[in-house]
């Protein structure tokens, strides 16, 4: 997988500080990753809940449906890419905790 360069000037233009931008994107990336993990686990649990015969597993004992789901999730855009795109579009809002406590 190739590394995609990011124009830091775009990030600075979208935020008052490059550090703030990176922290906000990192937190959003972790949120997206957690959502994907929950979706993946739900799909795998549904698969495990279905009664299966021994004939569905391959010679090495791997369930082909589980492999298909894993490959499907691997092809999805990575959470970091999604969070960067959301930030540059202006879809991510962030604020300091001190501001929340004062209100």
Successive 10-residue mean pLDDT values, the chain, 103 residues: 81 87 94 96 85 58 85 93 93 78 61
Domain of residue 40, residue span:
31-49+63-103
Domain count, the chain: 1
pLDDT at 14: 84
**Is residue 14 included in any domain, yes or no?**
no
pLDDT at 92: 87
How many DSSP H helices and E strands does the chain contain?
Answer: 5, 0
pLDDT at 4: 83
**Is residue 2 included in any domain, yes or no?**
no
pLDDT at 73: 92
C-alpha separations of 100 from 16, 20, 82, 97, 103 in Å: 19, 17, 26, 5, 6
């Amino acid at each position: 997988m190739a590394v995609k360069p990011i124009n830091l000037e775009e990030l600075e233009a979208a935020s008052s500080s490059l550090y703030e931008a990176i922290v906000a994107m990192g937190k959003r990336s972790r949120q997206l990753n957690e959502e994907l993990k929950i979706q993946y686990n739900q799909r795998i649990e549904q698969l495990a809940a279905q009664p299966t015969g021994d004939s569905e597993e391959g010679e090495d004992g791997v369930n082909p449906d589980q492999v298909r789901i894993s490959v499907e999730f691997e092809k999805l855009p990575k959470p970091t890419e999604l969070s960067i795109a959301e930030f540059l579009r202006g879809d991510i809002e962030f604020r300091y905790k001190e501001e929340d406590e004062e209100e």
